A and B are shown apart, each in its own frame.
Chain A
């Protein structure tokens, strides 16, 4: 496969009567000249790193290297373990794990870029939550990561996964779209429904700018990972309920790429606009780096 369109992947899976993940694993093993088992095990290793980053990011007293953030994962996990909060214990647990991985990243911990370091909380927020809550087997979840990966490859090839090129919609948007396709497959959705879940997330994140305070992968990135996860679950549940996307995934990806190109440079990871340019954003920058021109 060329991973230049979601349609190609959906067709390949449908024609072979496979899930997207199975078709992708088979294809990737062939392209990498490895056995399917070797490729699977490599993905399992990455999944294990995700689980470990969830654990580390929930530690009490964790601080980011800049000192600006750190307790988010711990606080949310504590809250989730209590009454479960307004959205229920599963969803608050998902938020806690997502925050934890992003906090692990900001504190120089080990993470899996998925697809980037800035959006690294989203896929583990979905997959590790379903694993720890016992909803799916490890094998099923590791396989789902191949579906996510295939979606990410298409987004990288048709549009971009870099905040500096396409804003946050290209990072957290892409990660959410990847996660949604994986979730839709886990939930028993068809390859077509996986594609629709991808499209819906991109629609919901369309236009999101990249405006990190002080140029650091912390504010608002850590919380935007949570919004990416919530979008992913919502999109997967919508398609599983039988709601179509209306706009095909490939067209949504192209639109995201176009919107990214039209985005002013101030809103593409330069920290010259958005939240980074607010009075408080400026103050936080000075707190970390001191006054400069």
Chain B
């Protein structure tokens, strides 16, 4: 903690959990889009988010995050108008997503190229978030660190290939957290790797070239 955690942050009101945290969840979705332009955004809101999102501007904050704005950008207030100008359709649905944190949002985005991504996460207080699910696969990270998501075929040796590549070609990279999830044996699996520094040039591309790696997404700390 330093003095600017107390006299700060500079943020758009009114609530760190319902506005700033919501924006960060939107931003994770933007990173998963990986440069594709969204055309249709659907956000399902659960718990307290579902009941109070309008009054807190949670909807605008989510949309602003998806469009790449930061939590101190005054454009958040005009997110609906900006989305319309950019040709992005959006809708917000109040629902109940069972077994989730009270401030949970499930974001589904269809891109102009027809691809669809989903991100589910919660705003857990003070602007902090936890991402629970990406494209149907369970994850668990908070966006505070640079996070690499590697979707791959579940088979022996893939994890070693990834860590060997990091050690041999990008030896400065230090892994702070590693997690593997797989819904079924031998199907698709997901590595969530948090690293301390920004990944070096070319690392993500090299990872994508590995056998049995289906996709790699970098979520820079947000």
Chain B CB within 8 A of A120 CB = yes
Interface residues of B in 167-188 (CB under 8 A from A): none
Chain A residue, CB-CB nearest to B3: A149
Chain B CB within 8 A of A148 CB = yes
Question: Among B8, B19, B56, which residue has its beta carbon within 8 angstroms of that of A112?
Answer: B8
- CB B57 to nearest CB in A, in angstroms, measures 5
Given A153-B3, A216-B14, A217-B13, 16 other A-B contacts at CB below 8 A?
A43-B3, A65-B55, A109-B13, A110-B10, A110-B74, A112-B8, A112-B9, A112-B10, A146-B3, A149-B7, A150-B3, A157-B1, A161-B6, A162-B126, A215-B51, A289-B55
Residues 263-288 of A, flagged 1 when their CB comes within 8 A of B and 0 if not, give 00000000000000000000000001
B residues in contact with A75, CB < 8 Å? none
Establish whether residues A217 and B14, one from each chain, have CB atoms under 8 Å apart when the complex forms.
Answer: yes
* A66, A68, A110, A148, most chain B CB atoms within 10 A: A110
Question: Among A3, A24, A108, A114, which residue has its beta carbon within 8 angstroms of that of B13?
Answer: A108
- CB A153 to nearest CB in B, in angstroms, measures 5
- CB A216 to nearest CB in B, in angstroms, measures 5
With the chains together, A105 CA to B126 CA distance in Å?
15
Chain B CB within 8 A of A89 CB = no
Establish whether residues B6 and A64, one from each chain, have CB atoms under 8 Å apart when the complex forms.
Answer: no
Known: A108-B19, A108-B57, A215-B52. A115 touches B14 (CB 8 A): no
Establish whether residues B7 and A216, one from each chain, have CB atoms under 8 Å apart when the complex forms.
Answer: no
Question: Among A106, A111, A214, A292, which residue has its beta carbon within 8 angstroms of that of B10?
Answer: A111
Establish whether residues A110 and B72, one from each chain, have CB atoms under 8 Å apart when the complex forms.
Answer: yes
Chain A CB within 8 A of B106 CB = no
> By DSSP majority rule, is chain A's interface helix, strand, loop, or mixed?
helix
B residues in contact with A146, CB < 8 Å? 3
B interface residues with partner A (beta carbon < 8 Å): 1-16, 19, 48, 51-52, 54-57, 60, 72, 74, 76-77, 125-126
Known: A3-B1, A104-B13, A117-B11. A214 touches B126 (CB 8 A): no
With the chains together, A167 CA to B3 CA distance in Å?
22
Chain B CB within 8 A of A28 CB = yes
Establish whether residues B56 and A216, one from each chain, have CB atoms under 8 Å apart when the complex forms.
Answer: yes
With the chains together, A215 CA to B48 CA distance in Å?
9
B residues in contact with A64, CB < 8 Å? 14, 55
Chain B CB within 8 A of A250 CB = no
With the chains together, A72 CA to B94 CA distance in Å?
32
Establish whether residues A109 and B8, one from each chain, have CB atoms under 8 Å apart when the complex forms.
Answer: no
Chain B CB within 8 A of A59 CB = no
Known: A49-B10, A64-B14, A152-B7. A289 touches B54 (CB 8 A): yes
With the chains together, A15 CA to B1 CA distance in Å?
24
With the chains together, A293 CA to B175 CA distance in Å?
46
A residues in contact with B15, CB < 8 Å? 117-118, 217
Chain B residue, CB-CB nearest to A155: B6
Known: A28-B2, A215-B52, A289-B54. A46 touches B10 (CB 8 A): yes
Chain B residue, CB-CB nearest to A47: B7
Chain B CB within 8 A of A145 CB = yes
With the chains together, A105 CA to B20 CA distance in Å?
12
Chain B residue, CB-CB nearest to A115: B6
Sample 27 A-B pairs with CB under 8 A, ordered by A number: A28-B2, A31-B2, A46-B8, A49-B10, A66-B55, A104-B13, A107-B77, A108-B14, A108-B76, A110-B11, A111-B10, A112-B7, A112-B8, A112-B9, A146-B3, A149-B7, A152-B7, A153-B6, A156-B5, A162-B125, A215-B51, A215-B55, A216-B55, A216-B56, A217-B14, A289-B54, A292-B51
